[in-house]
Amino acid sequence: MLSLKNRFKHSLKYRLIITFFVALTLLISGIYSYLFVMNPNLLIGHILNEQAEFLIDEIYTNSMGEPELSIQKSNQDAHWVWIYETLNEDLFFQIVDPQGEVVSASTRQTKAFAPDNTSYNKHTSNFTFTRNNKLFYGLSEPLKAAYTGYNIQVATSLRLLEVFQITKRSPISKTVLLVSILSLFIVSFAVIITIHFMLRPLRKASDIASKITPQNIQGRLSMAEMPSELIPLISAFNEALERLEQGFKVQQEFLATAAHELKTPLALIRGEIEMLEKTNSKNLILEDVDHISRQINQLLHLAEVRESHNYTFQDITLVNTVNDTIKYLSRLSKKHGTSIRLIQINKDIHLNADASTLFILLKNLIENAIYHSPSGTTIDITMTKNTVSVRDYGQGINEEHLNLIFKRFWRAPKQKIHGAGLGLAICMEIATFHGWKVTAKNSSPGASFVLDMSP
């Protein structure tokens, strides 16, 4: 029972059905209330008002200065006179003076119309009364300013009004149309608001999905308040993410394990080689071992920087990390006959970052510059508020290679420098995880790598 209740509660389809049902009920109730509750005599009042307005335009002033409307004196207006002559038992009009006396009438009636068992009151506008055992509907309207105090009264029998109701459908049609249009706007507004709130869980799920990246694959879409029709889809998506995360972890674990397992044998091999007599082949073998060791270290770094738990964010001073990196690479720089120059435009730069991965990022950029710099040149490191630039004065980068250098295992054709092609890819991984950007460009001469740390 509870499951069925939740299904109806969170179902997009049933919510729409209920919304339209409620809206339709409100529409019908509104039409019914307007026609039969708020204005039960709407058509009758319309007929009497039209009759009174027409007669008011036909009133003239007699010799005594009183308003008059006489059938006998209006033979020229036979288009309406005949109606009162023919229907003299069902249709009346009369003009009443301020004292309640009839001064002009369509019949010989001398008494003003008034509700049954009451006296004439000029302030009573709509009323009913009985005459000759027939029910009449009456209307009393004050005349224009020229006839202050005078009222015109019209009365129509119920049986004649029933005939009018059959033929006078236009006012009803207009009223129904007006109420229907108004109700349509109300229904549309209600549906829009309902759909807006129903789609809110989907918008939340979309926001979460947009934040799922290779660096943040742990995120899952919430099924709270989700329409029941979409729960299987969200569940399948989360399961796919789970499988993807597990596969990614297996890959990372294999990469890290393989690199660790290879480090020890390589260290032993290097030790054995160093104990051999010095020969030309010995130096070549040691260079190959160093090259493989460097590749293994880069594989380890690549595996580590892709795991979020390896990052510890804290407030660090950028210049300290840069100086530590320069100091670490000083021996390599000296070996290649280059020097590193730090241009500090802004010393007091603080970042919320992981110090160890930032060190790896800067090390790879500067190390790359050292390997590509001719002997006797300088590597410039420029610091600004939001950027760190590393420039060498080598041959630069071919334009067609600028979009490839950050890809894993990519190496320029005919490159004499030994490398795994992972250093710049590691830089991109670290920068992306921090929300930074790293780009490359030619500086003529040489190349510049810019780390943009703008928020």
Write b or e for each residue in 77-93: b if 16 or more Cβ atoms lie within 10 A of its Cβ, otherwise e.
eeeebeebeeeeebbbb
Tokens of 97: 């003076």
Q: How far is CA 373 from CA 58, 152, 392, in A?
A: 110, 110, 6
Tokens of 19: 């919304």
Q: Residue 55: its pLDDT value, please?
A: 87
User: Residue holding tokens 């130096």?
Assistant: 283
**Is residue 287 located within the same domain as residue 331?**
no
The answer to whether position 101 is within a domain reads yes
Query: First-to-last CA distance in the chain?
Result: 52
The answer to whether position 233 is within a domain reads no
**Is residue 10 located within the same domain as residue 77?**
no
- Return d(Cα 142, Cα 59) in angstroms, integer: 13
Q: Tell me the β-bridge partners of 4.
A: none
**Is residue 80 located within the same domain as residue 138?**
yes
Domain count along the chain? 4
Write out the residue range of the structural domain in which residue 265 sits.
Answer: 242-301
| Cβ-Cβ contacts under 8 Å for 19 (sequence gap 6 or more) | 190, 191, 194
**Is residue 72 located within the same domain as residue 116?**
yes
Three-class secondary structure of residue 71 per DSSP: coil
Tokens of 420: 């795994």
pTM of the model: 0.47
**Is residue 21 located within the same domain as residue 112?**
no
**Is residue 178 located within the same domain as residue 272?**
no
The answer to whether position 331 is within a domain reads yes
The answer to whether position 381 is within a domain reads yes
Q: Tell me the β-bridge partners of 440.
A: 449
Domain boundary among 167, 186, 209: 167
Q: Residue 450: its pLDDT value, please?
A: 93
Q: Residue 325: its pLDDT value, please?
A: 92
Runs of H (alpha helix) within 275-354: 280-305, 318-328, 330-335
Residue 355 CA, distance from chain mean position: 38
- Return d(Cα 180, Cα 26) in angstroms, integer: 11
**Is residue 255 located within the same domain as residue 181?**
no
**Is residue 140 located within the same domain as residue 91?**
yes
- 57: domain CATH number is 3.30.450
The answer to whether position 291 is within a domain reads yes
Q: Residue 74: its pLDDT value, please?
A: 47
The answer to whether position 281 is within a domain reads yes
Domain boundary among 301, 329, 351: 301
| Cβ-Cβ contacts under 8 Å for 191 (sequence gap 6 or more) | 16, 19, 20, 23
Nearest to 114 by CA among 70, 160, 155, 55: 155
Q: Counting beta carbons within 10 angstroms of the beta carbon of residue 19, is it exposed (0 to 12), middle (13 to 18) or buried (19 or more)?
A: middle
**Is residue 317 located within the same domain as residue 432?**
yes
Tokens of 300: 């380890």
Q: Residue 451: its pLDDT value, please?
A: 93
Q: Residue 289: its pLDDT value, please?
A: 65
The answer to whether position 360 is within a domain reads yes
Give me the long-range contacts of 75-81 (CB less than 8 A, separation at least 24).
80/54
**Is residue 46 located within the same domain as residue 34?**
no
**Is residue 322 located within the same domain as residue 396?**
yes
- Walk along the chain (455 residues) and give the pLDDT tens digit of each residue: 445 556 556 666 667 767 777 777 777 677 666 665 566 566 677 778 888 888 888 888 888 888 888 666 544 455 667 788 788 888 889 999 988 899 888 887 778 999 988 988 888 888 999 988 899 999 999 998 788 889 999 998 888 877 765 555 556 556 666 776 787 778 777 777 877 777 788 778 878 777 776 666 677 777 777 777 778 888 888 888 788 777 767 666 666 666 665 666 667 666 766 666 666 666 666 666 666 666 666 666 666 666 666 678 899 998 899 999 999 999 999 999 999 999 877 777 888 998 888 998 999 899 989 988 999 999 999 988 888 999 999 888 888 888 888 887 777 766 655 556 778 888 888 898 888 999 999 888 889 999 998 87
Q: How many CB atoms lie within 10 A of CB 50?
A: 14
**Is residue 315 located within the same domain as residue 447?**
yes
- 328: domain CATH number is 3.30.565.10
The answer to whether position 222 is within a domain reads no
Q: How many helices (H) and strands (E) does the chain have?
A: 13, 14
